[in-house]
Amino acid sequence: MENEVRIKKVLDNMPILFFSLDENLRPVSWNYECERVLGFSSEEILNDKNFSFKNLIQVKGEGESSGFNPELLNSEFKNWELDLISKDGKTKLVSLSNISSESGSINWFVGVDITRTKEIERELTSSLKELSDFQTALNAVSIVAITDKAGTIIYVNQNFCDISGYSRDELLGHNHRIINSGYHPKEFFVDLWKTIAKGKIWKGEIKNKAKDGRYYWVDTTISPILDSNGKPYQYLAIRNDITERKETEEKARHAENNLKILQDRMSPHFLFNTLSIIHSYLQTNPGLADSAILMLADNYRFLMDQANQQLVPFDIEWEFMENYLQLLKLRFSDFLEVESEKSGNFRQCQIPPLTLQPLVENSYIHGLRDRKGKGKISVKASIEDGKTLVTIRDNGKGLSDANIHSRSIANISERLKFYLYDSEVKIENHPEGGAIVTIGFKSAKN
């Protein structure tokens, strides 16, 4: 008798639903967990002769099954998930099992309230679907990459592969230096890493270089993924292609720079000085004066017709530069010697207008104008292995302060990089005195 009391006490206090039903589905026993989950006390259940377990089963719509078949109660072991109605009218989802050892008038059941578990499953399923939908939408329009905390790429989407030209296998395990264009200074990326290493989001525009040498711009947001200690352990980079917009902005800026250069080339001061020299030659050397007038006319025709173009044939740009050299020599014949030499077939070669002449003018103004004695400017052009090389050398005072050359050189360097592949511009002192500017480039970008 004492053992039966102990067993009943254990069963009553088990953290699972434990109850028994007779052949009419009336409760015979009802533990505290049944009371907690369904709200009915054992007294009101057991003392109500009209109460049946069927009263707890949620009624489905017409034609729908309740999920509970009383005929199955006599099975040796049967599991159900039943929607039961609690005393307060709320639905409770219970996982129920028949644990009766043999068929008889009394069947024993155990159950677990899985209402919250199912809610969490549904919420999780819904969240996973939302996350999947978000990922699908993100991958459709954006360039996505994930790196570890050291910057090693561990995930890229197809858009990353498409724009960079690298396969997924070529990108994974590497860092973003594989697409570094060299456009941004070192400090740019130092600042980027300082920001995200602190767990902060970094936003900016980055110029990258694809596998085929093509440059592209991306509007970039890098978001740190934090661990349980709030420290970044991965970085999510979401980028959008803004190459077309940046190129439009660049073209507009270059057009504005070209206009400024054009205005400088057409300055009344230059025209007045040149016409004055031509006038002086009308009496002493009419043939030279006529030639100078034609060169001046050709140069102004170039400025009106070609200077606003993105690219012009190299031969036309060269002719404009040579005319300027000859007009310069005409003005300073006693103090200046000029030389130009071009070798190779430049028929397919193109160059941004107003590239060579400003460099020649730069050599005169900063290299020869204040020089004592006779100065010399030498311009040479050649094509080697598909690359155009141009050198402009003066025998002036050389580079004492590179800043006086920076504006003109920087503008030309930027335009060449924008319009031509593998371009470079450098200025340095020549071993034999004076300065030399070297520019090189390959074919024009489409």
CATH number at residue 34: 3.30.450.20
Number of H helices, E strands in the chain: 13, 17
| pLDDT confidence of residue 189 | 94
Decide which of 86, 119, 152 is a domain's last residue: 119
Confidence band, pLDDT 50/70/90 cuts, at residue 145: very high
Q: How confident is the model at residue 299 (pLDDT cuts 50, 70, 90)?
A: low
Token look-up 């967990």 returns: 33
Q: Are 62 and 181 in the same domain?
A: no
Residues 6+ positions from 166 with CB-CB distance below 8 Å: 178, 179, 210, 211
User: Tokens for 229?
Assistant: 């200690």
Query: What integer pLDDT is reported at residue 315 of this predicted model?
Result: 92
How many Å apart are CA 239 and CA 233, to the nearest integer?
Answer: 20
The pLDDT assigned to 14 comes to 83
Parallel, antiparallel, or unpaired for β 350-351 and 375-384?
A: unpaired
**Do 153 and 207 share a domain, yes or no?**
yes
Q: H-helix or E-strand containing 361?
A: helix 356-363
In terms of average pLDDT, the best of 9-13, 116-120, 153-157, 298-302 is 153-157
Span 257-284, average pLDDT? 62
pLDDT band at 62 (very low <50, low <70, confident <90, very high): low
> Which of 92-101, 197-206, 308-317: highest mean pLDDT?
197-206
Q: What is the pLDDT of residues 216-245, one digit of tens each?
A: 999 999 999 999 889 999 999 999 999 989
Instruction: Give pLDDT tens digits for 343-397.
Output: 989 988 999 888 888 888 888 887 777 777 788 899 999 998 889 999 999 888 8
- Out of 246, 281, 309, a domain closes at 246
Instruction: State mean pLDDT over 173-202.
Output: 94
Domain check: are 24 and 158 in the same one? Answer: no
- Please give the tally of structural domains in the chain: 3
Q: How confident is the model at residue 63 (pLDDT cuts 50, 70, 90)?
A: very low
132 domain residue, yes or no: no
Evaluate whether residue 257 is within a structural domain: no
293 found inside a domain: yes
Q: Identify whether residues 205 and 275 lie together within a single domain.
A: no
pLDDT at 402: 47
**Together in a domain, 115 and 152:** no
Q: Which is it for the CA torsion 18, 22, 27, 30, positive or negative?
A: negative
User: In this structure, are 279 and 226 located in the same domain?
Assistant: no
Contact of 326 with 295, CB cutoff 8 Å: yes
Residues 287 and 368 in one domain: yes
Predicted confidence (pLDDT) at residue 201 exceeds the cutoff of 60: yes
- 196 and 295 share a domain? no
The answer on 424 and 340 residing in a single domain is yes
The pLDDT confidence band at residue 106, using thresholds 50, 70 and 90, is: confident
Domain shared by 51 and 195, yes or no: no
Q: Is residue 252 part of a domain?
A: no
Q: Kindly list the distances between the CA atom of residue 362 and the CA atoms of 322, 356, 381, 411, 412, in Å, as whole numbers in the listed order.
A: 15, 10, 18, 13, 12
Please choose, from the candidates 372, 373, 430, 425, the residue with its C-alpha nearest in 3D space to the C-alpha of residue 398: 430
Instruction: Name the phi and psi angles at 323, rounded to 5.
Output: -60, -40
Q: Going by C-beta distance under 8 Å and a sequence separation of 6 or more, which residues neighbour residue 127? A: none
- Between CA 341 and CA 321, with CA 300 as vertex, the angle to 5 degrees is 15
Q: For residue 293, give the CATH number of its domain.
A: 3.30.565.10
Choose between 298 and 55: higher pLDDT. 55
* Summary mean pLDDT of the chain: 82
For residue 356, give both structure tokens: 């060579």
Q: Are strands 375-384 and 336-343 parallel, antiparallel or unpaired?
A: parallel
Q: What is the DSSP string of 243-306?
A: HHHHHHHHHHHHHHHHHHHHHHHT-HHHHHHHHHHHHHHHHH-HHHHHHHHHHHHHHHHHHHHT
Range of the domain at 9: 1-119
The predicted structure's pLDDT at residue 118: 87
Mean pLDDT across 6-25: 84
- pLDDT tier at 403, thresholds 50, 70, 90: very low
Alpha helices, DSSP H, located in 39-114: 42-47
Two tokens at 217? 């711009």
